[in-house]
Each structure stands twice: as structure tokens, then as C-alpha cells.
Amino acid sequence: MKYEKKINKRSVCIMSGGMDSTLSAYMMKKEGYEIIAVHFNYDQRTEQKELECFENICASLDVKEKYILDIDFFKQLGASALTDKNLEVPTGGIEEGIPVTYVPFRNGIFLSMAAAIAEKEGAEVISIGVVEEDSSGYPDCREAYIEAMQKAIDLGTKDETNIEIKMPLVHLKKSQIVQEALQLDVPLELTWSCYKNEHKACGVCDSCRLRLQGFKTAGVSDPITYE
């Protein structure tokens, strides 16, 4: 009798160490995908904390294969309060327009690199935790933009390569993300959202405000420590 080797379906999961990308990875695992975890160090203010969270989350997911990619391009580029120490991270509340914490075309660069990994690894899916409706207004978190990147990846890879970008959170509110994470037993205590600090979250940057409001609306306490 001839036996065929079972091939597991695989998902390249872009994982920052934050709540959204962590939930996305857990959703992929629930769907039966083998996780290939990808993390980017790009000289962001909370680089070491995000890397620590990523490593701990990978352990919780029992990830067997991961890529940790160092990019010095964004530091050289500047133009964002996340990578340029001469720019202050806003703490006065969410403002209209695109905030100074926007990193130019970051998700486009991340998705391009993830596509290269997915093609090399034979993965069917790239998972990204973008949130359009309840984000800081970043243009590279929009569904239409991710769909455009999908077309670019289709055109820019081999004919036999078939990679789908999944963005399972794109239309969710932060409170819904909290609720989904609790249902999947996502270890939210291992995640980090603060733009400014690496020890205790500041609680006043846009990302902390969105996270705290999400937990408040969901009616549960955030398990991480704030100043």
C-alpha cells in the first residue's frame, strides 16, 4: 500500500507582540494552520519589549518556525515618532488625520517580506492583524489597501504560488477584539501595545487609549501594568 505524506497547511503570521496580531495568529491556529511566526525589529521605541512579547507568545502557541528580521531602514528614514526620538509620541488623545506615529508604508514592506517567506515556505496564507474601523487612522490598515497588496503578491510570485492574505480583525472594534481573545484563551498578559514605554505602559498614547477603552467597553480588566 502506498502512503502519501500528510502536508500541513501553513500560515505566515506577522506578529508584533501586540494584541491584534496575537489574536490573528491564535485564529489561524484554531483554523488548523501551522504557524510560521514573523517579527520585525525596526528600531521602534519599544523594540526590546515587543521582541520579548513575541518570543513569549510564540512559546504559548508552540511555534516551531519563526523569523526575526532586523530592518534599519525605518530608523534611517525617520518621519515617525515610533522610530525618530526627535519626535514626541502624542499623549493628548486621538486627533483627526494621520498621526505622527504612522510609519510610512510599514505594512506594505512587512507584507512584501512576508510574501517572500510564504512563497519559500510553501505557505497558503499570510495573516496580518490590521484593524480599519478602530485604529489610529493609518492608511496601510485599510481593507482596500490590503486587497491591493493581495493583487500585487499574486502578480509578483510564481504562477503556481497561491497565497491569501487574511485580515480577520479588519472590521472589529477593540472591545470585540478583547472578547474574541478571551474566547480563544489568548494570553493577553503577554501582549504589549504602548508606543512609549517598555516596562509599564504609559496609558496615554493613542495605542494605550484604544486598548484601555476596548477592555473597558468589554467589561474586563487589562492584565498588563500601567503607570
Which backbone phi and psi does 84 adopt, to 5 degrees? -115, 110
Q: Which of 137, 147, 160, 59 is nearest to 111 (CA)?
A: 147
What's this model's pTM, rounded to 2 decimal places? 0.94
Structural domain spans, the chain: 10-218
Q: Which of 169, 184, 155, 174 is nearest to 216 (CA)?
A: 174
Query: Across the chain, what does the average pLDDT equal?
Result: 95
Query: Model confidence over 190-216: pLDDT tens digits?
Result: 999 999 999 999 999 999 999 999 999
10-218 placed in CATH 3.40.50.620: yes
Confidence grade of residue 133 (pLDDT, cut at 50, 70, 90): confident
- pLDDT-above-70 percentage for the chain: 95
